Amino acid sequence: MLFKWLAFWALALLTAGTASADDTVAVLSDTSGVYMEAFTAFQERYGGKISYFDASRKRPPIPPGVRTVVAFGSKAAAQDYPPETDLVYVMAPGFSVRRPGAKGATVKISMLTRPDILLAGLKEVQPAMKRLRLFWRAGGYARLPEEYAAAASRAGLDITAVKVGRDEDLPGMLREAVGRMDAFWLPPDPLLISEFTLAVFIKFSQTNGVPMYVSTKGLAQKGACASIGIGFSQLGRAASDAVKELRAGKKLPDTVYPESRQLTLNATAARYCNLHFRPEVISKADHYFP
């Protein structure tokens, strides 16, 4: 009798564990590079094997019984998912999901560092900075001024957000800003950042001695003075935490800012701007390019 009782509970626990993994699926914009890096970190943090679909090949078939979909990238986030499922999406900069009538939660994991952490970090890198200009294009960043206003006030910064229209307008916009900013920052905006605009931003920064800050290690390595952002593995882990909180019955905001940050410094770019990183700043860097 005891053996049967133990066998029953062992089977029940095994079934429960399997169900918790099976009712969560991931959809990736493609299955290579950074999307897979973030998904791997998500799966490790979440525990158990998670099924995933490649949205670059076909529309993902969401099986019956799925409670949560985790989408990696804008293409994956833009798919049509069952209205009763929770949707957690990540790595979709400048993009917002609209699910009218959906019963499930819709939560975005931002690629942006939380405003107070970002601005405090920039002040630490460049203590004398008082005026910071933000350039953006994608509609998802239209609320940047209001989202950063309170944090800017606490950091003692005057922030100006500027929407960039056409690429050919950018050089003139930057020239007009000379003497009106101590530095500028670019969000991870796929509509703004291209090979052409990046070259324009870097040339302006180095020619005029105005520090350029970005949100990813790769862009910092290409010529920005520094980046403060979220690593792809960190984004995956933040998505896992959000799913677990939803499962626990917690109501999450539409946008979740990960608590972690990744600091990258480019000393060569900084020297063009007469910016010298203090030893205590260098010691905090996750990546340092001399």
Q: Which two tokens stand for residue 245?
A: 């909180």
Instruction: Give domain limits for the chain.
Output: 10-110+233-256, 115-230+261-289
Cα 182 from chain centre? 25
The confidence score (pLDDT) of residue 162 equals 95
Domains 10-110+233-256 and 115-230+261-289 share a fold: yes
Q: What average pLDDT score do residues 83-87 get?
A: 96
Q: What average pLDDT score do residues 199-214 get?
A: 98
Identify the band that residue 4 occupies on the pLDDT scale cut at 50, 70 and 90.
Answer: very low
How many angstroms separate the CA atoms of 275 and 211, rounded?
Answer: 8
Give me the CATH topology for the region 10-110+233-256: Rossmann fold (3.40.50)
CB 56 within 8 A of CB 29: yes
Whole-Å CA distances, 114 to 109, 117, 194, 257: 11, 5, 24, 5
Give me the CATH topology for the region 115-230+261-289: Rossmann fold (3.40.50)
Note the pLDDT tens digit of each residue in 18-47: 334 578 999 999 998 999 999 999 999 999
Identify the band that residue 2 occupies on the pLDDT scale cut at 50, 70 and 90.
Answer: very low
| Stronger pLDDT, 285 or 17, i.e. the higher one | 285
The confidence score (pLDDT) of residue 103 equals 94
Q: Which two tokens stand for residue 28?
A: 């990736």
Q: In the predicted model, is pLDDT for residue 149 greater than 90? A: no
Q: What average pLDDT score do residues 229-235 get?
A: 94
The confidence score (pLDDT) of residue 21 equals 58
Q: What average pLDDT score do residues 79-103 get?
A: 94
| pLDDT, averaged across the chain | 90
Q: In the predicted model, is pLDDT for residue 138 greater than 60? A: yes
How many angstroms separate the CA atoms of 8 and 145, rounded?
Answer: 58
Q: What average pLDDT score do residues 132-139 get?
A: 94
The confidence score (pLDDT) of residue 241 equals 97
Residue 118, judged by CB atoms within 10 A of its CB (0-12, 13-18, 19+), counts as buried
Neighbours of 38 (CB within 10 A): 28
How many angstroms separate the CA atoms of 189 and 124, rounded?
Answer: 24
Identify the band that residue 14 occupies on the pLDDT scale cut at 50, 70 and 90.
Answer: very low
Q: In the predicted model, is pLDDT for residue 52 greater than 90? A: yes
Q: Which residues pair with 27 in a beta bridge?
A: 53, 71
3-state secondary structure of 242: helix
Identify the band that residue 140 occupies on the pLDDT scale cut at 50, 70 and 90.
Answer: confident
Q: What average pLDDT score do residues 150-165 get?
A: 92
* Helices 115-125 and 144-155, axial angle in degrees (round to 10): 50
| Stronger pLDDT, 142 or 41, i.e. the higher one | 41
Q: What is the pTM of this model?
A: 0.83
Identify the band that residue 53 occupies on the pLDDT scale cut at 50, 70 and 90.
Answer: very high
Q: What average pLDDT score do residues 184-196 get?
A: 95
